[in-house]
Amino acid sequence: MELFFDLVFVLGFIQVVALMEDDFTSHGVLNGMLALALLWSTWSIYAWLGNSLQARVGLIRIALLFVTAVTLAMAVAVRQAFTGLPGAAISGPVVFVACFVVVRLVHLALRWYAIPDTRPRIVLLVAAPLFVASVLLFSAAVVPQRLFHDPWLVKASQTGLWMLAIIIDYGRALLLRSWGLHIISARHWAERHGLIVLVALGESLIAVGLTSSGVPMTGSLIAALVFAIVTAAALGWTYFDVVAIAAERTLSQNTVQRRVAYARDAYSYLHLPMIAGIMLLALGLHHVVTIIKDNELHHSTARLESLGLHALYGGAALFLLSHAGFQLRITRLLGRVIWPRLITVALLVALIPAAGQLSAVVALGLLAVICASLVITEVLVAGGRRKELREAALAGGFRPEGP
């Protein structure tokens, strides 16, 4: 059931990239990141719930199916979350916000159902920030267009209201600490987050594939596709090879209280910038293929514009930097691989001006070479510790220590 729920987020992530493409400006990218933040918090609260309740039986199964349907409508509406399409019978921004509210109310009811001894006062305490955030999002959907005639003021007020709503929504998570949060299965928790990272990486390749499907095959296009695969695979390798294993080990061998802190900080919070980095990478990959298409296909020597270049290199750098933060927060078992990542992040940022002088395909190729070199460096640096962790995981996982 949870995997079925995750499939909706494939579409959601695609729509986030499409939203940024529709308004390919720094403001449009910011709006895309805001929409991603609400999608992520929606996925995250159900990941917490799924670690406490069996999602394949009884009322929970039916409720999750209903939530999946509503989340699908929310994902479809992402592209219209700020501006509806002309002639639409129903406002796209209103649909997005309405779906957000319904999904959160169902989650609130399920959590109350899962913890029957909860006093109504605690439920109201948690519901109050949700109410305020919902009012702000509904206001962003309907008020600015009626209040301002200047398009810039409309956009700025919408973005401001969204940012305030997201701050309140994420602050709401702090109130949930005292309301039954716990990690029953460290393996389930780690696998759920690993799968959503795979979903995001898969979306980046889907974005390239969809853009490439209408482009005649050329050497430049094939090279770009190969470089995209290498880059995505290298980022996935850095996540899954040993750090994911070490993080699961740390999570499984700690007390209940420390598990919750690790799960909240390292997974719920620090995975968001990782996913954001992948979305920015997908946006950059899309524009590489678009440049190939727009430059007569056989002579694709045009360069990436500044925003596309920053999305491409900055997305990979943001993923690696966030992953280093994830590792620092949850495990020091492989501390020696953090430095190559931080050096790679600095190198990617430093190379942005130089990469801007290269053709789009060559700039992508350079990114692929750097990411692949990082993988090789990490394998060499980790050495015997890497082998030990992988063998322990293959032998049947990690036995918990303590309650």
Statement to judge: residues 23 and 170 lie in one domain: yes
Residue 384 scores a pLDDT above 70: no
Statement to judge: residues 313 and 226 lie in one domain: yes
Statement to judge: residues 124 and 31 lie in one domain: yes
Residue that terminates a domain, selected from 130, 159, 178: 178
Statement to judge: residues 128 and 210 lie in one domain: no
Q: Which residue has the higher pLDDT, 297 or 355?
A: 355
Structural domain contains residue 399: no
Structural domain contains residue 64: yes
Statement to judge: residues 139 and 193 lie in one domain: no
Statement to judge: residues 7 and 96 lie in one domain: yes
Highest mean pLDDT among 26-30, 54-58, 300-304: 26-30
Structural domain contains residue 402: no
Structural domain contains residue 24: yes
Residue 329 scores a pLDDT above 50: yes
Confidence of residue 210 (pLDDT cuts 50, 70, 90): confident
Q: How many domains does the chain have?
A: 2
Structural domain contains residue 403: no
Confidence of residue 401 (pLDDT cuts 50, 70, 90): very low
Residue that terminates a domain, selected from 155, 178, 201: 178
The whole-number average pLDDT for the span 290-299 is 70
Statement to judge: residues 38 and 138 lie in one domain: yes
Range of the domain at 19: 2-178
Statement to judge: residues 353 and 253 lie in one domain: yes
The whole-number average pLDDT for the span 229-256 is 88
CATH of the domain at 205: 1.20.1410
> 115-124, 164-173, 236-245, 337-346: which has the minimum mean pLDDT?
115-124
Q: Rounded to an integer, what distance in angstroms lies between the CA atom of residue 190 and that of residue 384?
A: 23
Statement to judge: residues 156 and 25 lie in one domain: yes
- Mean per-residue pLDDT of the chain: 86
Residue 226 scores a pLDDT above 70: yes
* pLDDT at residue 88 in the model: 72
Statement to judge: residues 160 and 195 lie in one domain: no
Structural domain contains residue 239: yes
Confidence of residue 174 (pLDDT cuts 50, 70, 90): low
Tens-place pLDDT, residues 192-207: 999 999 999 998 898 8
Q: Longest Cα pair distance anywhere in the chain, in angstroms?
A: 68
The whole-number average pLDDT for the span 157-183 is 79
Tens-place pLDDT, residues 55-114: 556 677 888 899 999 999 999 999 999 988 777 778 889 999 999 999 999 988 887 777
Confidence of residue 337 (pLDDT cuts 50, 70, 90): confident
Query: 0.75 cut: is pTM over it?
Result: yes
Tokens of 27: 């403001």
Residue 376 scores a pLDDT above 80: yes
Structural domain contains residue 317: yes
Residue 402 scores a pLDDT above 90: no
The whole-number average pLDDT for the span 34-43 is 95
Residue 403 scores a pLDDT above 80: no
Structural domain contains residue 400: no
Question: Do the Cβ atoms of 382 and 232 come closer than 8 Å?
Answer: no
Residue 237 scores a pLDDT above 90: yes
> 180-194, 216-230, 276-290, 305-319: which has the minimum mean pLDDT?
180-194
Statement to judge: residues 165 and 195 lie in one domain: no
Residue that terminates a domain, selected from 178, 202, 219: 178
Statement to judge: residues 252 and 174 lie in one domain: no
Tens-place pLDDT, residues 113-162: 777 666 777 778 778 888 999 999 999 998 888 888 888 898 999 999 99
